[in-house]
Amino acid sequence: MKTDLSDIELFLFDMDGTLVNTEPFHLMAMKNVLSSKGLAIDLTSQVEHFAGMTDQLVLKELYPDMYDDEIKAIIEAKNQQLVAEFSHFSPSHLSQYLAPGILPFLKSIKSLNKKMAVVSASEDIVVDATLKAFELTNFFEFWLGRNQTERTKPHPDPYLLAMHRTKKGPEVTVIFEDSVNGMKAAKDSGAHAILVSPFVAQNGHKSFDVFSL
């Protein structure tokens, strides 16, 4: 049975884990930067625990005694490496990391002239590079990274800003998220919130082919 979204006027999407499976790229970039500083750690086994958390919160939890300026330097180095990673692959290769059914879904929304935007907890440079690498920019009116608001997810501020920019209220807005922090932000914004897990092969997890426009 499909979920009817015909009354929705604004579609807001989280990026990492919702539109694109960027996890392998983020893990590799962070692993390389940490290793270069002698901080080898198995991040793969802790992916679910850190899902939806910013790099700053992840590093704070892993290294409680690390100074803020060192955390900032690690994040900047990781982001630069991530952007460089994307440049090594063609769009056709990267397409395998797109959420199943997402391209037809985005095309259908666009054909109805409804508004779409991306709201991510990743830094602006990462959001911009990711959407360009995966050739998704033409679908969205704008995209917001974590640098656009003082507070990011799990606070609703980024989603409230997106609704303010488009002059659309929460009653006609739907938000697609894949994490606990993201869902909290979405629900607290007052908009319709839908949990999707397009990269989890498990019954009960919604992908983008179950929605009706």
Lowest mean pLDDT among 44-53, 54-63, 113-122, 169-178: 44-53
Question: pTM of this prediction?
Answer: 0.87
The answer to whether the bond into 198 is cis (omega within 30° of 0) is no
- Cα–Cα–Cα angle for 163, 119, 134, nearest 5°? 135
The pairing of beta strand 3-4 with beta strand 142-144? unpaired
Cβ contact 17:178 at 8 Å: yes
- Answer yes or no: is pLDDT of 11 > 60: yes
Output the DSSP codes for 84-110. Answer: HHHHTS-HHHHGGGBPTTHHHHHHHHH
Q: What pLDDT does residue 206 have? A: 62
Q: What percent of the chain has pLDDT over 90?
A: 66
For the chain, the average pLDDT equals 90
Euclidean distance between CA atoms 113 and 36, whole angstroms: 47
Indicate the pLDDT class of residue 45, thresholds 50, 70 and 90: low
- 47 versus 105: the higher-pLDDT residue is 105
Nearest residue to 148 via CA among 158, 163, 156 = 158
Indicate the pLDDT class of residue 200, thresholds 50, 70 and 90: low
pLDDT (mean) for 157-167 = 98
The amino acid sitting at 95 is S
Q: What pLDDT does residue 51 have? A: 65
Q: How many CA atoms lie within 13 A of 22 on its CB side?
A: 28
Q: For the chain, list the domains and their CATH numbers.
A: 3-22+97-212 (3.40.50.1000), 23-87 (1.10.150)
pLDDT (mean) for 91-110 = 94
Euclidean distance between CA atoms 23 and 85, whole angstroms: 13
Q: What pLDDT does residue 1 have? A: 57
Q: What pLDDT does residue 13 have? A: 98
pLDDT (mean) for 169-183 = 95
- 36 versus 210: the higher-pLDDT residue is 36
Q: What is the pLDDT of residues 21-30, one digit of tens each?
A: 998 898 888 8
Q: What is the pLDDT of residues 66-78, one digit of tens each?
A: 999 999 999 999 9
Nearest residue to 134 via CA among 181, 85, 75 = 85
Kindly give, in sequence order, each residue whose CB lies less than 8 Å from that of residue 46, ignoring residues fewer than 6 positions away.
none
